[in-house]
Chain A
Amino acid sequence: MILASVIVVLAFLALFFILHVVKGHHATGRDLDQLASRLQAVDVNAFRNLIDEREEEYLREHLPQREFRGIQRERKLAAIEYIRCASANAAILIRLAEAAREDPDPAVAQAAEKLFDNALRVRLYSFRVVPRLYAGLLFPGASLVPSDLADAYDTITRQVVMLGLQYPTRGMSASL
């Protein structure tokens, strides 16, 4: 009976989740101006520096072990914050690209298609990388972050600029 009760509770939780997501789907703000205002600035170069293995190696060689660990911890926490910002921006850009894809101009639709894919890629990377960075806090010596996240984010920033020339993106690239 305990297992049956657990399943009943889980089933109702799943139902509430489904209802909540569908309700959110109808209620989500689709105002592009409002979306643009939620973008946060991300310094890709600073992020690259934080996940640079050579930089890490340099610090390891020149700092006492204890100090190195403390600094690495700070660097990883900062990197997590950067990734969170990039991921949140990517989520907004997915919406922007969805809107632009409906544009009758094929050039705009094509640019939006590319932006959509890359924003999706950044989002997927971030889900993969953040747990690895947290794992890196436990094992400071291990190198756990792929540099392709910064490359992908760089790509979408450029694509937003390209798209902005053809479609109203409300000053988004300035925030990226």
Chain B
Amino acid sequence: MLFLRYYLWVVPHVLLGIVVIVSFRKRLYQTLPAFFAFAVFQLVQFLVLFTVTKFVTPSSIHIYVWLLTCGALIGALLQLAVLYELVRTVILSRTSLQRVLRPLFAFALAILVLASAVTSGSLRDVGRERIMNGFETLDFSSNLILAGMLVTILLFSRALNISWRSRATGVALGFGTSACIGLAAAALRSGLGKSAFVGVDVMQMAAFHVSVVIWIVYLFLPDRTPAFAGSGLAKSEIQFWEQELQRMTGQ
């Protein structure tokens, strides 16, 4: 079990390093800067936490937990930035109806923040330490907001029938996987208590592993909108269009 936990902690971050390198080479920091910043931050956080675990003792464990909580807070803010980036690149930048659509997403975000505040307050504390409970609340809330907003964005683009570029789809799918499993994990930790900590942690780390693999796969795929097929316009069709235009303008 110890090997599995180390594997799930180290390997996804090694793969995330590959994501950062490939993203840099493909200049993803220009098109998806928030996602690039998030990946870099996750790597830095991992390196810091991994180093700290080598020196931390049971009496100084609170340093690790504080670093973890601060990291989770910054990570949550960066995830919000990634969400905004997805909304902007997938929907807002492609239409002049930004004024109509922007408030709808802001409203959805406000509802989710409210829902996360109410739900996290109703969940049972995972321990006696305030900082640990604070971390759990933050983890639960950020995952709820992230999963909820992703569902909203996907629902919206599906309802409006807007297609996504493949790289944005990959980013959304990766975050969706990790956020949904993270949300379930946070709820299970609260519901089952300390006895389930290890199992739930493994589940959450495995989800992050899957997310990073999804990002890698989509990074190597060409970034394109879905291709359209069909025959060209025939001469008879052009004549038809001309007649049609005359009919309509004559109305």
Please tell me if the beta carbons of A165 and B184 are within 8 angstroms of each other in the complex: no
Q: Find chain A residues with CB under 8 A from B169 CB.
A: 22, 25
**Which residues of chain B from 105 to 137 have any CB-CB distance to chain A below 8 Å in the complex?**
119, 122-124
Tell me the bound Cα distance from A32 to B229 in angstroms. Answer: 6
Please tell me if the beta carbons of B227 and A161 are within 8 angstroms of each other in the complex: no
**Which residues of chain B from 225 to 251 have any CB-CB distance to chain A below 8 Å in the complex?**
225-233, 237-238, 240-242, 244-245, 248
The size of the chain A interface, using a CB distance under 8 A, is: 52
**Which residues of chain A from 10 to 49 have any CB-CB distance to chain B below 8 Å in the complex?**
10-12, 14-15, 17-19, 21-22, 24-26, 28, 30-34
Q: Find chain B residues with CB under 8 A from A95 CB.
A: 161, 163, 228
Nearest A residue to B94, CB-CB: A116
Tell me the bound Cα distance from A99 to B163 in angstroms. Answer: 10
Please tell me if the beta carbons of B241 and A165 are within 8 angstroms of each other in the complex: yes
Q: Find chain A residues with CB under 8 A from B151 CB.
A: 14, 17-18
Which residue numbers of B lie inside 8 Å of A, CB to CB? 94-97, 100, 119, 122-124, 147-148, 150-151, 154-155, 158-164, 169, 172-173, 176-177, 180-181, 183-184, 186-188, 190-192, 225-233, 237-238, 240-242, 244-245, 248
Which residue numbers of A lie inside 8 Å of B, CB to CB? 1, 3-5, 7-8, 10-12, 14-15, 17-19, 21-22, 24-26, 28, 30-34, 91-92, 94-95, 98-99, 102, 116-117, 120-121, 123-124, 127, 157-158, 161-162, 164-165, 167-171, 173-174
**A to B CB contacts below 8 Å, 16 in the list:** A1-B191, A5-B191, A11-B183, A11-B187, A12-B184, A14-B180, A15-B147, A21-B155, A22-B169, A25-B226, A26-B226, A121-B97, A164-B233, A164-B237, A167-B233, A173-B248
